Amino acid sequence: MSQTDEQLLQQESRGQRARDVIESDVYRDAFDQVKTEIIEQWQNAPARDQEGRERLWVMLKLLEKVDSCLSQTMDSGTIARQELAYRKTLPERAKEWLSR
C-alpha cells in the first residue's frame, strides 16, 4: 500500500525529531549514565541474587530497545524524505525522458 505525501511528511517529521533526540548531548549522557549504572549493579550483584540480576538484564534490554526504536524512527524519516524527493522529481524525469 502506497503512503500519501501527508503520511510521508509526518514520518519525515517524526524521524527528524528522533534524530534531534538521539544526537542530543543530554540524551546521550543520560543513556550512557543509566546503561553504566545498570551494568555496574549487575556486575556487583551477588551470584545468589539471580532474580535481581535478571531484572537488571531486562532493564538493560529495555534501555537498548528505546534507543533502537528511536533509531528506527530516524531511519524511517530518512527513507520518507528520500521518497518525497523521488516523487517530487518524478515528473521532471518523465518530462526529460519524453522530450528525447
pLDDT for 14-28, tens place per residue?
999 999 999 999 999
Give me the mean pLDDT over the 66-81 stretch: 96
- Assess contact for 60 and 35: CB atoms under 8 A: yes
Residue corresponding to grid cell 524519516: 77
In angstroms, rounded to a whole number, what is the distance separating the alpha carbons of residues 54 and 24?
30
Confidence of residue 95 (pLDDT cuts 50, 70, 90): confident
- pLDDT at position 93 is 75
Give me the mean pLDDT over the 3-7 stretch: 88
Instruction: Specify the amino acid at residue 60.
Output: L
User: pTM of the predicted model, to two decimals?
Assistant: 0.78
In angstroms, rounded to a whole number, what is the distance separating the alpha carbons of residues 89 and 85?
6
Distance of CA 78 to the CA centre of its chain: 11
Q: What is the pLDDT of residues 37-62, one digit of tens each?
A: 999 999 999 989 999 999 999 999 99
- Assess contact for 20 and 73: CB atoms under 8 A: no
- pLDDT at position 84 is 87
- Assess contact for 38 and 59: CB atoms under 8 A: yes
